[in-house]
Amino acid sequence: MGTENHRLEMLFLAPSERGKGLGRQLLEYGIRIYDIQEVTVNEQNPQAVGFYEYMGFSAYKRTDLDEEGNPYPLLYMKL
């Protein structure tokens, strides 16, 4: 998990650890301790998008390129 300025920049779990509630626990910790209010997620990762929507985030902005200019569309989501 990586954060900056109340935004979750990354959250990674090993595939073998998914579905055990660890992502939820990490995100809830980040919200509580780091006041996470936003996430940035690759739109081409529907599992991650669905997870953040399930956790109460909604998209407010979309870009065609990632922050390095690569062709990976990003969704910016807020609680």
Element (H, E) at 55: none
pLDDT at 51: 95
- Gap between the Cα atoms of 55 and 79, Å rounded: 8
Whether this model's pTM surpasses 0.85: yes
26-69: per-residue pLDDT in tens? 999 999 999 999 999 999 999 999 999 999 999 999 999 988 99
Beta strands in the chain (DSSP E): 2-4, 7-10, 38-42, 58-63, 74-78
pLDDT at 7: 94
Residue 11 has pLDDT above 90, yes or no: yes
pLDDT at 67: 87
